[in-house]
Chain A
Amino acid sequence: MSRPELTGHASNFYNEREARKYNSSSRMINVQREITLRAIELLLLPPDEASLVLDIGCGSGLSGEVLEEHGHVWVGCDVSRDMLQVAHERMEKSYKMKGDDDKTEAEIARMKYDDDDDSDDDDNNVCSTGDLMHHDMGTGLPFRPATFDACVSISALQWLCYSNSSAQIPKRRLIRFFSSLYSILKKSARAAVLISECATAVGFGGGIVVDYPNSAKAKKHYLVLSCDRVGGRGQVPGMTAAGAVADQKQSQVQVGKQRQEKDGRKARPIRKKKGVKTKEWIVHKKETQRKKGKEVRPDTKYTARRRPRKF
């Protein structure tokens, strides 16, 4: 399945089975890690300082884990409850493990020195710095304005381009998403996400960064948005990786066009189903109905013949 977006809603695709699979695939973990690391690099966060980062489409918390390693506090939201459940379990596990480790350390420390208890309590253990939320990004982000220092979204935004019910209008959902994103980010915050006409319409500045543009497989598109409209921090960090050429375009790209670019090939035109209502098909259908024991008119020379044109 090359495009799971076409099969239905994200929460249906990422069911319990898929969530476990996702989380146990080492390839997936590595890819997610790599992309998140690059996204963090693109965010230009102040070094050695904890920032509050929003992770949209956090899934099983793989990207959150990387954020945690960088010492950031993150809030993740995802539309799939099963993915969140996996994330929750993992965080719980790491909390318990770390808690046990630190306890023994604290005990050792207590045995060695007779220190006061207060300090022990202080650095007792390291709990996961993430927090989870079940939410659909297409309905707008439910946060107070100007709260987050940055935002990452790793392979999630493509879901917004598809509608799974008649009530969902992709363009409206995209606008809603980006306008709420614009309001909740702090001034001069950055968002590294993967789409863009709507983004500039609500006031973001920024462009697309393409890593490995000449490789079909490793090619990755990052949409870097910044809240300061003047674009003060315009430079793109880290053209360090071998062969990585960052190519910054101004974001006047249309959503449809972008999709083509992301695939690296043209989107296939929707083809009409072949062979419906031909004589062959009708005869076959009658045959199967007959086998089911249903009453079917006998095959004659008039079967599947076109009616004469009316005047």
Chain B
Amino acid sequence: MRLLTHNFLQSNVRGTVDGYPLKIEGTNIVVENSSMDSNLVRKVLPKLNYPALVAAINDIRNEEGEEDNNNNISESVLKALHFFLFDVHVIEGCLICPGTDRRFPIKDGIPNMILHEDEV
């Protein structure tokens, strides 16, 4: 699962007021290089939730990352964003709904978001 996907994922378990962002508990994280496409990153940019991305990166690193809001986006920033959005894969771990603490396990890079009929 890429962090890009994580940035869009939201939990809709019954009883959550705000199921976003999901907390990541990664046990196996892999970096796969992919070709950089700055146009693609630019396109994705307006849809991103920046605080959620920072939180996700922090979850993965388990340390505080520097928080900076750059308005003028340079190539290097795009590169860094691309690395985090497209190259970092969470292979094994857990997603945790912030509202209800419902855990969604990740296996083989595929998060299991299945909800039972009574959970919706």
Contacts and interface: CB of A to CB of B under 8 A. Distances in A.
A300 interface: no
Contacts of A133: 1, 5, 9, 110-111, 113
Contacts of A144: 7-10, 20, 49
B117 A165 contact: yes
**Which of B34, B112, B120 is most buried by chain A, counting CB atoms within 10 A of its CB?**
B34
Nearest to A136: B114
A116 B112 CA distance: 42
Contacts of B43: 49-52
Contacts of B120: 139-140, 176
A142 B109 contact: no
Contacts of A126: 34-35
Give the size range of A's interface with the partner. 35 or more
Contacts of A32: none
A73 interface: yes
B11 A142 contact: yes
A152 B84 CA distance: 26
Contacts of B111: 133-134
A156 interface: no
Interface in B51-84: none
A135 B114 contact: yes
A128 B32 CA distance: 10
Interface residues of B, number: 38
A164 B58 CA distance: 41
Interface in B1-54: 1-2, 4-5, 7-12, 19-20, 32-37, 39-40, 43-44, 47, 49
A144 B9 CA distance: 6
Given A131-B4, A132-B109, A123 B115 contact: no
Contacts of B87: 127
Contacts of B118: 167
Contact of B110 (A52, A88, A129, A140): A88
Contacts of B7: 144
A143 to B, nearest CB: 5
B35 A139 contact: no
A184 B33 CA distance: 28
A162 interface: no
A123 B8 CA distance: 26
A134 B113 contact: yes
Contacts of A165: 117
A268 B32 CA distance: 52
9 contacts: A51-B43, A127-B35, A129-B34, A131-B2, A133-B9, A140-B12, A143-B8, A176-B120, A186-B47
Given A129-B34, A146-B47, 15 more contacts: A49-B39, A126-B34, A131-B1, A131-B4, A131-B5, A133-B110, A133-B111, A136-B114, A139-B114, A142-B12, A142-B113, A144-B7, A144-B8, A144-B10, A176-B120
Interface of A: 49-52, 73, 75, 77, 79, 81, 84-85, 88, 95, 121-127, 129, 131-136, 139-140, 142-144, 146-148, 165, 167-168, 176, 180, 184, 186
